[in-house]
């Protein structure tokens, strides 16, 4: 496909996603403009293209696993894993996973939080893509990367549907490959 055709398709996808994402002001707390992805989930054709675009930089990267971050990261991570034909593993809030877990704490603006993964989810030799819906401050994705590395695996990159550029989440992920389909 000629590259200008590809650029046109990409621009069209970004425009459709931007028009479909729903802005919800003051949710969950005053001052937050929440990016609601449920209208994207409700459009199978758009969703299929979005997953394809999220996967694109990683198709020929020897990816062995996709890790999705609870909970909206599951909605994009699982189809992305199917797209790449590799296993999916969840990174979950504390106390949710039933077997042996490793955990990682991270600081948010006014509190700290914890993510857990099963100790056998990924290991030495694994090359992992971390998936979430929205990259905001980058704290969640950075903690997930650290957790995966503590389990002995390599993080090939982070893939999100939406990046809130003004929050500079990339700074927290310095040195890592960060891929977003839409930057707002």
Q: Which positions are annotated as active-site residues?
A: 72, 109
- Is 161 a residue that touches ligand AMP (CB under 6 A)? no
Q: Do 160 and 130 form a contact (C-beta atoms < 8 A)? A: no
- In whole angstroms, the minimum distance from the beta carbon of 116 to ligand AMP comes to 15
- Is 169 a residue that touches ligand AMP (CB under 6 A)? yes
Kindly indicate which of the ranges 31-39, 76-84, 96-104, 123-131 contains the residues binding ligand AMP, using the contact rule CB under 6 A: 31-39
- In whole angstroms, the minimum distance from the beta carbon of 134 to ligand AMP comes to 4
Nearer to ligand AMP, 90 or 138 (CB): 138
Nearer to ligand AMP, 58 or 106 (CB): 106
- In whole angstroms, the minimum distance from the beta carbon of 148 to ligand AMP comes to 16
Q: What is the 3-state secondary structure (H, E, C) of 51-66?
A: HHHHHHHHCCCCCCEE
| Residues pairing with 23 in the sheet | 35
Binding residues for ligand AMP, total number by CB under 6 A: 18
- Contact positions with ligand AMP (CB under 6 A) in 43-82: 69, 72
Q: Do 144 and 128 form a contact (C-beta atoms < 8 A)? A: no
- In whole angstroms, the minimum distance from the beta carbon of 141 to ligand AMP comes to 6
Nearest Cα to 65, choosing from 79, 43, 81? 81
- Contact positions with ligand AMP (CB under 6 A) in 85-124: none
| Residues pairing with 24 in the sheet | 34
Please state, in angstroms and rounded to a whole number, the distance separating the CA atoms of residues 14 and 19: 9
Q: At what angle do helices 72-84 and 44-55 cross, to 10 degrees?
A: 70
Q: At what angle do helices 44-55 and 3-20 cross, to 10 degrees?
A: 120
- Is 41 a residue that touches ligand AMP (CB under 6 A)? no
- In whole angstroms, the minimum distance from the beta carbon of 94 to ligand AMP comes to 15
User: CA angle at residue 156 from 45 to 46, to 5 degrees?
Assistant: 5
- Is 139 a residue that touches ligand AMP (CB under 6 A)? yes
> Where along the sequence are the contacts to ligand AMP (CB under 6 A)?
32-35, 69, 72, 132-141, 164, 169
């Amino acid at each position: 496909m000629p590259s200008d055709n590809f650029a046109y398709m990409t621009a069209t996808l970004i425009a459709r996603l931007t028009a479909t994402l729903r802005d919800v002001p003051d949710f969950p707390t005053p001052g937050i403009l929440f990016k609601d992805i449920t209208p994207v989930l409700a459009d199978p054709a758009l969703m299929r293209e979005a997953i394809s675009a999220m996967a694109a930089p990683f198709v020929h990267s020897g990816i062995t696993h996709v890790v999705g971050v609870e909970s909206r990261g599951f909605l994009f991570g699982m189809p992305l894993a199917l797209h790449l034909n590799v296993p999916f593993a969840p990174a979950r809030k504390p106390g949710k996973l039933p077997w042996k877990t490793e955990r990682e704490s991270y600081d948010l603006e006014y509190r700290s939080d914890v993510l857990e993964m099963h100790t056998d989810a990924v290991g030495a030799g694994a090359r992992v893509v971390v998936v979430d819906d929205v990259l905001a401050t980058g704290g969640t994705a950075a903690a997930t990367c650290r957790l995966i590395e503590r389990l002995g695996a390599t993080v090939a990159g982070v893939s999100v549907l939406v990046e809130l550029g003004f929050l500079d989440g990339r700074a927290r992920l310095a040195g890592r490959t960060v891929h977003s389909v839409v930057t707002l």
